[in-house]
């Protein structure tokens, strides 16, 4: 989406300013002109945000203060700032996460990875241990810890901002006693072994980076997305090192991009330690998840 700098005026229908319905109509048109999908829905969400959670009636009027807030939010969204960043939060499975600028906003595909990981976690022996590599907001670590009360999770990231955001979410969800956060370059600070390792590492191929939507390229951390020349750098590193950190029979689950599965399975088989390797599809029918087990 191009950088959008519209500044259309909304007509005042009385001396008290335009009605909420007129403001919503204006905002929808502005957002549509900036290429925002579902502009009417997003306009309503921004209005609720501007009004601190209230949903004013269509015929009501906003105070100049709230109207100013609403206009600024619409302008920011028009420039491509993702809605979850404006709201400061996003939903993940059945819970809410705080999101911060520079920390990847969890995606629906990753909910699929979390569901697969939870299914496996529920079948593990008592007091199992899981590792979330590149935890970002802490989405996967929190989903796992919430799903199984005797599970201990170590969540690592190289990025201090991500760790701070994850720390916030872990505390807000009351999981401090079971989710440990640690700064680490993948396994470098992780000597322990685990029953389950899960990761959504950066996997965008360098040549595909420019094709990502403007709001992703401009507002999401490159470090969270850039997977090197073919997008496989982090994935291959994790597949090669994971067997040393898994208990026998332990599981490795990774998110990947369609088209990377076959290569990754080849790398996994070359380790001679990972067996039962396969790739599963996401809800959109695209190959998205690598699964393997430690011999
Ligand atoms: C695609 S994001 C995934 C975030 C989160 N797990 C999720 O699914 O929403 C990748 C994460 O890996 C982290 N990361 C990138 N390189 C890393 C490295 N060398 N070691 C550890 N974490 C890394 C990034 O900071 C980012 O938080």
154-186 confidence digits (pLDDT tens): 999 999 999 999 999 999 999 999 999 999 999
**What confidence score (pLDDT) does residue 1 get?**
40
To which CATH superfamily is domain 89-294 assigned? Answer: Vaccinia Virus protein VP39 (3.40.50.150)
Ligand 1 geometric centre to CA of 237 (Å): 13
Note the residue count of the chain: 295
**Residue pair 228/173 in contact by the 8 Å Cβ criterion:** no
**Residue pair 289/116 in contact by the 8 Å Cβ criterion:** yes
- Supply the pTM of this predicted model: 0.93
66-117 residue pLDDT tens: 999 999 999 999 999 999 999 999 999 999 999 999 999 999 999 999 999 9
88: left (phi over 0), alpha (psi -120 to 50) or beta: left
Ligand 1 geometric centre to CA of 8 (Å): 39
**What confidence score (pLDDT) does residue 241 get?**
97
Atom 5 in ligand 1: which residue has the minimum CA distance? 136
Contacts of 166 (CB under 8 A, 6+ apart): 135, 136, 137, 138, 141, 155, 157, 181
- Residue 139's alpha-carbon distances to 27, 30, 247, in angstroms, are 31, 32, 24
| Cα–Cα dist 288/255, whole Å | 6
Atom 4 in ligand 1: which residue has the minimum CA distance? 136
List residues near ligand 1 (CB under 6 A): 104, 106, 110, 134-137, 139-140, 156-159, 162, 185-186, 200-202, 223-224
Ranges of each domain in the chain: 20-80, 89-294
Two tokens, residue 292: 């393997």
Ligand 1 geometric centre to CA of 200 (Å): 7
Helix (H), strand (E) at residue 113: helix 108-121
**Residue pair 252/246 in contact by the 8 Å Cβ criterion:** yes
Residue 105, φ and ψ in degrees, nearest 5: -75, 120
Two tokens, residue 108: 């629906």
Atom 14 in ligand 1: which residue has the minimum CA distance? 134
What residue has token string 């900036």? 34
Ligand 1 geometric centre to CA of 135 (Å): 6
Q: Which residue positions in the chain have pLDDT lower than 70? A: 1-3, 5-15
């Amino acid at each position: 989406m191009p950088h959008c700098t519209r500044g259309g005026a909304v007509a005042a229908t009385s001396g008290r300013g335009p009605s909420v319905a007129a403001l919503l109509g204006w905002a929808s048109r502005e957002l549509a002109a900036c290429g925002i999908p579902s502009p009417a829905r997003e306009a309503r969400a921004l209005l609720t945000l501007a009004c601190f959670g209230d949903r004013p009636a269509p015929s009501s009027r906003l105070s100049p203060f709230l109207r100013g807030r609403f206009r600024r939010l619409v302008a920011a969204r028009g420039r491509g700032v993702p809605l979850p960043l404006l709201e400061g939060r996003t939903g993940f499975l059945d819970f809410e996460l705080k999101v911060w600028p520079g920390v990847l906003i969890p995606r629906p595909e990753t909910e699929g990875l979390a569901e697969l990981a939870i299914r496996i976690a529920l079948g593990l022996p008592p007091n199992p241990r899981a590792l979330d590599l590149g935890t970002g907001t802490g989405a996967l670590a929190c989903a796992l810890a919430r799903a199984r009360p005797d599970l201990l999770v170590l969540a690592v990231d190289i990025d201090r901002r991500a760790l701070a955001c994850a720390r916030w979410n872990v505390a807000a969800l009351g999981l401090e006693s079971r989710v440990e956060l640690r700064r680490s370059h993948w396994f470098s600070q992780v000597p322990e072994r685990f029953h389950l390792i899960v990761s959504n590492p950066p996997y965008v191929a360098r040549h595909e980076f420019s094709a990502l939507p403007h709001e992703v390229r401009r507002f999401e951390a490159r470090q969270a997305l850039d997977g090197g020349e073919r997008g496989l750098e982090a994935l291959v590193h994790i597949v090669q090192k994971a067997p040393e950190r898994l208990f026998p029979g332990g599981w490795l689950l990774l998110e990947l991009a369609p088209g990377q599965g076959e290569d990754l399975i080849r790398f996994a088989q070359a380790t001679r330690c990972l067996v039962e390797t396969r790739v599963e599809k996401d809800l959109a029918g695209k190959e998205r998840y690598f699964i393997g087990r430690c011999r």
